[in-house]
Amino acid sequence: MSEAAVSALDAHLSDEQRALLAQTAALAATTLAPIAAAGEEGRIDRPLLHALAEHGLLGRLFQRAGDGWRPDVSALDLCLIREGLARGCTAAETAFALQGLGTFPILQAGRPEAIDAWLPRIAAGEAAAGFALTEPDAGTDVAALSLRAERDGEGFRLTGEKIWISNAPEADVYSVFARTTEGAGARGLTAFLVPRDSEGLGGEALRLLSPHPIGRLTFDGVHVPPEHLLGEVDGGMRVAMRTLDMFRPSVGAFAIGMAHAALDAAVAHATARHAFGRPLKDLQALTHRLADVSARVHAARLAVHHAASAYDAGVRPVTQASAIAKLLATEVAQEAVDAAIQVHGAKALEHGHLLEHLYREVRAPRIYEGASEIQREIIARGLFPRVREERA
């Protein structure tokens, strides 16, 4: 894209926001990508966490404020950081996002002693965090969670299993959601802070299509002291939803960053590669498909920024706007990567090629933090109450 086109497409952003996006993308491509390339897929990249801290990105998530800590990033800035990182280094984007997702429940609902024990280490890139919500029989349906939290004196003991937990089983600390009241659905869940070295906590790594670290956690009577309670007993759903409301629009930003990386690769290849005596960019069948995808990527990006801006403006709930943003962005990102691969041909299928990597990365966001089908259900539920009200 030309500088003029970029400026026009970013006209709704402030100068500071455009600079944040550009600087983050440059940092990801020039500094963070080589560090990530030296890491091992499926493992927490500790040097990458240190680099994210060293260059101030983790400090944008968490900042010391007087005697405590507070989030120091708006939802829109979070989206711009995630988009910029994804354009240049998806591993850095994932490491950054997982630190935020796993830590935000501690930051918003933890006891002061728990915050003081963990936030400095996480913000410095010295400890990795995980968000442990999903179970084998309960994913999007949070009300069906069955990990048991039973009273043990003033604390609790956790028994059960979590699965498809990012950064598991290597994370140093987890925000864990467990059932404290049977038969109460979403109202019977409580959030806990659980360090990795807790007795009875086990786990194993899982290999999925996407290359980031993910695994299973097992809880065999894991003791949680009262100071590790996050929020109130049976108030875990509020802790989870406040976290997801903050981070869900930025999942769309991650997808948009990957879509832009794929489109940039497609444009560069179509410009340089010749077939039948002319560059690929002169083939209308190819360029019109890229044009259609580019238009939808831009529309989805605006939906992401709208949802984040609504959150920053204090609008609650932002469920509908977030669902629209995540649905549009993650679906079109998959299409963008697929179109870019089609432009490149077989070369893009080679292991290690940027587009082969993006193809594996882009699939998961259509599932986690609410699958596309669930986002459609949320959007539909928002439509029909309005119809009933208008007919009343």
pTM: 0.94
**How many domains would you assign to the chain?**
3
* Neighbour-count burial for 218-233, b at 16+ CB within 10 Å, e otherwise: bbeebbbeeebbbbeb
The answer on 61 and 99 residing in a single domain is yes
CA 380/CA 382 separation, integer angstroms = 5
CA 17 to chain centre: 20
CA 11/CA 24 separation, integer angstroms = 18
| CB hemisphere CA count around 386 (13 angstroms) | 6
**pLDDT (tens digit per residue) in 179-189:** 999 999 999 99
Q: Tokens in use for 176?
A: 């864990």
The answer on 228 and 247 residing in a single domain is no
Q: What is the mean pLDDT of residues 14-20?
A: 95
CA 40/CA 268 separation, integer angstroms = 29
The answer on 140 and 90 residing in a single domain is no
CA 7/CA 64 separation, integer angstroms = 34
Query: Catalytic site residue 369?
Result: yes
What is the model's pLDDT at position 384? 87
**pLDDT (tens digit per residue) in 319-345:** 999 999 999 999 999 999 999 999 999
Q: DSSP string spanning 251-281?
A: HHHHHHHHHHHHHHHHHHHHHH-EETTEEGG
Which is the catalytic residue, given 126, 369, 377, 390?
369
What is the model's pLDDT at position 252? 97
Domain containing residue 322: CATH number: 1.20.140.10
Domain extent at residue 49: 3-128
Domain containing residue 197: CATH number: 2.40.110.10
Instruction: Select from 185, 200, 234 the last residue of a domain.
Output: 234
Q: Is the pLDDT of residue 66 over 90?
A: no
Is the separation of the CB atoms in 176 and 168 below 8 Å? no
Q: For residue 390, name the pLDDT band (cuts at 50, 70, 90).
A: low
The answer on 250 and 347 residing in a single domain is yes
**Burial label, 11 (beta-carbon count in 10 A; 0-12, 13-18, 19+):** exposed
